[in-house]
Every structure is written in structure tokens, then in C-alpha cells.
């Protein structure tokens, strides 16, 4: 699958883990967002549910496991090049995890070069934090930690 200059939008997930007044972020090792602090996440693999993908990405990028509780936000992230062509296009479904279920030791992995907890109140002014994290924080400040509860996310049809 071609990720740069795609023909179609690519489905991805973000693993949102908030503990008190802190949020878990990873520093990206690859584009888009290389060097920026972002929500752990990545592309949904074929045959994988949104929940499976979010749990996998959380573990791969942070070394942590937790139980998902709902969909907190959906973001249509389009990045254009200088000529106005679509270089990246991701539809990102952010899954909120229950911080009371965290297991494991925090350590970066996969395409994350660092993983750390950040005070939510400090993110808006931090130039190293991605634009998408700042948009998520704005959403949380307006609506709180509201989410769509997880129900049956499997839609498997055998032909």
C-alpha cells in the first residue's frame, strides 16, 4: 500500500490513554510527523478490527496494554505538498483506553523513538507536539472525555 500520494484515504487508529491530568504520547520516528509528539497509533491492517489495531499499536509503540472503552474522536488528516497535491490522507479513529487497566512498562517501540506522559495543560504551547494532538486536546476541553462506547466492532461476512 502506497502511503505517500495515495489514491484513497488510509484508515488508521490512535490509542488515547489519559491518566489523571496526563496523556501518553510518543515521538514519531517516521513521516508524517517525524520528530513530533503524537498519539500512539498506525494503520489498520486488513482483517483487523479497530479495537485490535488500537490495542496492537498501543503495545507496539509504548510497551503498555490497556482495555479500550470507546471511540473518542474521528479525524480526517490531509497533508498537502507545496504544489497542493495530497501527500498523505489518513482517516484516524481515536480509541480511548481505560487508564485503570494499564499493564506493562513504558518503553518506545515500533516507529516511536520516545514515549512519555505529558501534562495536558502544557501541550497547547509545546511546538514539538503534533497539530492533531492539539486538536484532540481542544476537543477534550470542550466536550470532556465523552466517547461512543465500544460494542460489537466485528463485521465479518463470508461469501
Q: pLDDT tens-digit profile of 82-106?
A: 999 999 999 999 999 999 999 999 9
Is the N-terminal amide bond of 32 cis, ω within 30° of 0? yes
Of the residues 45, 65, 114, 128, which is catalytic?
114
Q: Is 157 among the domain residues?
A: no
Contact (CB, 8 A) for 68 and 95: yes
Contact (CB, 8 A) for 96 and 70: yes
CATH number of 137's domain: 3.90.79.10
Q: Is 1 among the domain residues?
A: no
**Mean pLDDT calculated for residue range 126-131:** 95
**Mean pLDDT calculated for residue range 12-32:** 93
Q: What percent of the chain has pLDDT over 70?
A: 94
Contacts 24+ apart (CB under 8 A), 150-155: 150/51, 150/68, 150/69, 150/70, 150/71, 150/95, 153/49, 153/50, 153/51, 154/49
Q: Is 158 among the domain residues?
A: no
Residues of the domain holding 118 = 10-149
Q: Is 154 among the domain residues?
A: no
- What whole-number distance in Å separates Cα of residue 58 and Cα of residue 15? 6
Q: pLDDT tens-digit profile of 41-91?
A: 999 999 999 999 999 999 999 999 999 999 999 999 999 999 999 999 999
Q: Is 5 among the domain residues?
A: no
Q: Catalytic: 60?
A: no
Q: Is 43 among the domain residues?
A: yes
- Provide the number of structural domains found in the chain: 1
Amino acid at each position: 500500500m502506497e502511503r505517500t500520494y495515495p489514491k484513497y484515504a488510509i484508515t488508521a487508529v490512535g490509542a488515547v490513554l489519559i491518566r489523571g491530568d496526563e496523556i501518553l504520547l510518543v515521538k514519531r520516528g517516521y513521516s508524517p510527523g517525524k520528530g513530533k509528539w503524537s498519539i500512539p497509533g498506525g494503520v489498520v491492517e486488513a482483517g483487523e478490527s479497530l479495537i485490535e489495531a488500537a490495542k496492537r499499536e498501543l503495545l507496539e509503540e509504548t510497551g503498555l496494554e490497556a482495555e479500550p472503552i470507546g471511540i473518542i474522536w474521528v479525524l480526517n488528516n490531509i497533508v498537502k505538498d507545496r504544489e497542493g497535491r495530497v501527500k498523505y490522507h489518513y482517516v484516524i479513529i481515536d480509541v480511548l483506553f481505560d487508564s485503570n487497566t494499564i499493564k506493562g512498562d513504558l518503553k518506545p517501540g515500533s516507529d516511536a523513538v520516545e514515549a512519555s506522559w505529558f501534562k495536558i495543560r502544557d501541550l497547547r504551547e509545546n511546538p514539538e507536539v503534533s497539530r492533531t494532538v492539539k486538536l484532540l486536546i481542544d476537543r477534550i476541553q470542550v466536550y470532556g472525555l465523552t466517547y461512543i462506547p465500544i460494542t460489537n466492532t466485528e463485521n465479518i461476512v463470508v461469501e
